[in-house]
Amino acid sequence: DAGVIQSPRHEVTEMGQEVTLRCKPISGHNSLFWYRQTMMRGLELLIYFNNNVPIDDSGMPEDRFSAKMPNASFSTLKIQPSEPRDSAVYFCASSYLNTGELFFGEGSRLTVL
Amino acid sequence: RKEVEQDPGPFNVPEGATVAFNCTYSNSASQSFFWYRQDCRKEPKLLMSVYSSGNEDGRFTAQLNRASQYISLLIRDSKLSDSATYLCVVNGGDDMRFGAGTRLTVKP
């Protein structure tokens, strides 16, 4: 079975550019989470969706970040404009509501120069 | 104050040692608890759930103390392959909050 699929795996971009990260959750999962991981701050929850509806986006750093989930099989996290401090690994994870186990994608490693 | 706090370590232990990690959480309404393991440059993966009565899986024992709002993970007879970062996770309803992780290195 396919797990959570993220793309791109790696992206290097210049400050000011738009970055779009993509995620395909496991089929049948109701919840989708976006996390950001850095050495300094660990794994931070940015936003999560239940049944494609954003539930809590309080972790989104600022207005430069936005996330969408147009359907049950696809989500995007967009950063516009990007800044060097956005450099991190961005993980997408999905779960079936209330089971608790999160399944993570392999992450998207973003470097903003 | 962070919602989930862990001792970041690192813990450096010899093979065969017993090592324990603790994690505290701030939301008293939290409903479920987990330990995840993350290998270097990999994604986190579920290690075990933490039940109110405590639970064991081989060399791993997890415990929950609701009154003091902490969970623990005990690893007995540690192996080289146990070297990783261990993340505690607290479910406060629908969201899943991670601790910063405790790094463990098991040495020969």
> pLDDT by residue for chain B (108 residues), tens digit each?
678 999 888 999 999 999 999 999 998 888 889 999 999 989 999 999 998 888 999 999 999 999 999 999 999 999 999 999 999 999 877 678 889 899 999 999
Q: Are A79 and A15 in contact, with CB atoms under 8 Å apart?
A: no
3-state secondary structure of A86: helix
CB-CB neighbors (< 8 A) of A31 in chain B: 94
Name the band, by pLDDT with cuts 50, 70 and 90, for residue A98: low
pLDDT at A111: 98
pLDDT at A99: 60
Q: Look up residue B107 and give its two tokens.
A: 């040495």
Give me the mean pLDDT over the A58-71 stretch. 93
Give me the mean pLDDT over the A66-89 stretch. 96
pLDDT averaged over chain A? 93
- The closest CB to that of A55, out of B32, B45, B94, belongs to B94
**Which of the two residues, B95 and A49, has the higher pLDDT score?**
A49
Q: Across the interface, do A102 and B44 touch by the CB < 8 Å criterion?
A: yes
Residue A34 burial class via C-beta count within 10 angstroms: exposed 0-12, middle 13-18, buried 19 and up: buried
- The closest CB to that of B94, out of A31, A42, A43, belongs to A31
pLDDT at A15: 97
Distance from the B78 Cα atom to the nearest Cα atom in chain A, whole angstroms? 24
Query: Of A43, A49, A58, which to mutate for an interface test with B (greatest number of B Cβ within 10 Å)?
Result: A43
The residue among B27, B26, B23 whose CA lies nearest residue B7 is B23
| Cα dihedral A72/A96/A59/A66 (nearest 10) | -10
CB-CB neighbors (< 8 A) of A29 in chain B: none
**Which of the two residues, A100 and A49, has the higher pLDDT score?**
A49
- A97 close to B (CB below 8 A): yes
Q: Across the interface, do B43 and A56 touch by the CB < 8 Å criterion?
A: no
Is the backbone peptide bond immediately before A8 cis, with ω within 30 degrees of 0? Answer: yes
Give me the mean pLDDT over the A12-22 stretch. 97
Q: Which residues on neighbouring strands pair with residue A20, listed in sequence order?
A: A78
pLDDT per residue as tens digits for the range B19-50: 999 999 998 888 889 999 999 989 999 999 99
pLDDT at B66: 92
Please tell me the distance from the alpha carbon of residue B19 to that of residue B78, in angstroms, as a whole number.
Answer: 8
Q: Are B1 and B62 in contact, with CB atoms under 8 Å apart?
A: no
